[in-house]
Structure 1
Amino acid sequence: MLHIVIKTECYKLKRYNILWAGVALMLLSVLLTLFTSIANDGSVWDFAYLTEQVIKNNMTMIFPMCITLIAGYIISREQTQDTLKNILTVPVSFKWLLTGKLIVCGGLFIIFGLICSFFTIVAEFLIGFPGFGVPLAIKAVVQITAVNFLLYLAVLPIIVLTSQLTSGFLVGVILAFVYGYGGLFAARNMTLANLYPITASLGIVDYRSYDEAVHWNILMCICSLILVVGISVMLIFGIKGQELKQINKKSKKVVIKKGW
């Protein structure tokens, strides 16, 4: 049953214009990074540093918000268009419907990571920062794409919590932005950075490991994200049947009064 839900959701993606907003946000992340490169702050810019700054901007400002906006929109479509009650007449629970949508979103955000990597390489060709090479380009694609997917896992509890609220993803966007921006403060302390799910995604890809001040504990980072995913799974199982009850209440027949 789950594979049918996933297949159906993949077919629906081509109808979602909001996906172009995700592409625009990936472009914005790179443009914002290029804008900061003109600041005379003493930083020496090369392709590796460009990649690092794109990853940092994605983490703190762009991607958590992008993830919650698009995933929340995809999940809430069944409620805003009042089609969820029809879908649940088929032998598929809201739990499996939500799980299928989340799996599709995970694949979608991997694609967004590849798009962001493409924009980063295009920016490199346009600006011409030194140090570009095929090995570094491959590393940039892997790091940007992996971090974006791991950020999706880090934000997953917010998406699940707001999934049952009509237009609740807008609240989730605000929470995700604050959550992502908190990574700036968590990064100031390596112990906290290894535990905080947003910054733990950087540790898994060995972000800036050449810096003597950066000491990642990969095991701790992985455990942090596993805990977040575990919480998300428990939340999904916890909402089983609740949505159907809400729909049944809304679907009660209107009693027509007799007489004039």
Structure 2
Amino acid sequence: MITYTEREVSNMITIIKTEFLKLKRYNIILSGIFMMLLSVVLTIFTSTANDGSFWDFRYLYEQVIKNNMTLIFPVCITLISGYIMNREYDNDTMKNILTVPISYKKLVFCKLIVCGVVSILFGFCCFVFTIIGEKVMNYPGFTVRYAIEALFSITANSLFLYIATMPIIVLSWRKQKGYLVGAIVAFVYGYSGLLASSKMALANIYPITATLGLIGYRSYDVSVNWNIGLNIISLALMILLSILITIKTNINLDNSKEKKKKVKTKKGW
């Protein structure tokens, strides 16, 4: 069980503030923003296909959400969050963290909060790019109401997708460079949402597609029946699984153990 003393809470707040300051030096954040732009560009590119679909602003941002869910965001947030943790190893700053009276589990908690804020930032950037795409392509149906809906839907869905991907992220943090494998797993995990979305019963419980239910994705369609209770339970289980993985992690930053030096025994007398 993870408990918190007043000193540990103060240290955690300091670590979170420090993480936000360190983000300014990470060019990888710009890469994440570029991936959000890629999601919108990919969506606009598909609108040029002559498949009989009528594209307006509402359909545009719905397709952006769909592409984010299946192709872009799970991979993006796994890479970005993994990079944020991996810098502690690459920059050899883990030994400095050892001097702070805070466990590895609480460090992970701080990192997860920071990555959650980053996911919201990416969602907002994706919304901005969607608005720019709307102005460039001049799709019909743009209204202030739909713009507000797009802002909430894209940003909230990004946060929910982060929660849905959290167990993969936490697992990838256990080893240096583990986020590279985690990104591959996240891609398969996200792309499988296409299969899950074919049946509402499965879409309501599969974490990736359950995020759509929480934002009311295409709820106006009579064939779309979201079960909010199941959607919440699905993501809650992802949070619980992430906590269990963190608790079971053997890495402990509380105890700095010096490596025992092996003394070679001289042969003979």
Normalised TM-score (structure 2): 0.91
- Contact between 1:47 and 1:132, CA under 8 Å: does it hold in 2? yes
What is the CA–CA distance in structure 1 between the aligned matches of 2:29 and 2:265, rounded to whole Å? 47
Aligned AA (2:155): T
Name the structure 2 match of 1:228.
238
Name the structure 1 match of 2:145.
135
Aligned AA (1:88): L
Change (3 A) 1:247 1:190: farther
2:50 alignment partner, one of 32, 40, 54: 40
1:238 alignment partner, one of 235, 239, 248: 248
2:75 alignment partner, one of 65, 68, 87: 65
1:184 pairs with 2:194? yes
Q: Where do residues 72-111 of structure 1 align in structure 2 (5 Å cutoff)? A: 72-111=82-121
Q: Any idea what the Cα deviations from partners look like across 1:32-71, whole Å, max 9, x if unmatched? A: 0000000000000000000000000000000000010000
What is the CA–CA distance in structure 1 between the aligned matches of 2:27 and 2:124, rounded to whole Å? 19
What is the CA–CA distance in structure 2 between the aligned matches of 1:58 and 1:223, rounded to whole Å? 22
Q: Which runs of 5+ in 2 are unaligned?
A: 1-10
Aligned AA (1:196): Y
What is the CA–CA distance in structure 1 between the aligned matches of 2:199 and 2:43, rounded to whole Å? 24
What is the CA–CA distance in structure 1 between the aligned matches of 2:255 and 2:177, rounded to whole Å? 16
What is the CA–CA distance in structure 2 between the aligned matches of 1:148 and 1:245, rounded to whole Å? 33
Name the structure 1 match of 2:209.
199
Aligned AA (2:91): Q
What is the CA–CA distance in structure 1 between the aligned matches of 2:23 and 2:184, rounded to whole Å? 24
- Per-residue deviation at 1:108? 0.9
- Per-residue deviation at 1:5? 1.4
1:4 pairs with 2:6? no
Q: Any idea what the Cα deviations from partners look like across 1:187-226, whole Å, max 9, x if unmatched? A: 0010100000000000010101111221110111011101
Give the stretch that moved more between structures: 148-157 or 210-219. 210-219
- Contact between 1:88 and 1:94, CA under 8 Å: does it hold in 2? no
1:49 pairs with 2:59? yes
Name the structure 1 match of 2:29.
19
- Contact between 2:69 and 2:193, CA under 8 Å: does it hold in 1? yes
What is the CA–CA distance in structure 1 between the aligned matches of 2:179 and 2:204, rounded to whole Å? 28
- Per-residue deviation at 1:164? 1.4
2:185 alignment partner, one of 129, 150, 175: 175
**Percent identity among equivalent residues?**
55
Name the structure 2 match of 1:148.
158
Aligned AA (1:189): K
Aligned AA (1:57): N
- Per-residue deviation at 1:11? 1.0
Give the stretch that moved more between structures: 85-94 or 27-36. 85-94
Change (3 A) 1:166 1:243: farther
- Contact between 1:164 and 1:243, CA under 8 Å: does it hold in 2? no
Aligned AA (2:68): N
- Per-residue deviation at 1:234? 1.6
Change (3 A) 1:7 1:256: farther
What is the CA–CA distance in structure 1 between the aligned matches of 2:114 and 2:264, rounded to whole Å? 43
Q: Any idea what the Cα deviations from partners look like across 1:164-201, whole Å, max 9, x if unmatched? A: 11100001000000000000000001010000000000
Aligned AA (2:251): Q
- Per-residue deviation at 1:97? 1.2
- Per-residue deviation at 1:256? 8.1
Q: Which runs of 5+ in 1 are unaligned?
A: none
- Contact between 1:204 and 1:221, CA under 8 Å: does it hold in 2? yes
Considering fraction of residues, name the structure with more helix: 1
- Per-residue deviation at 1:158? 0.4
| Paired residue secondary structure (2:204) | helix
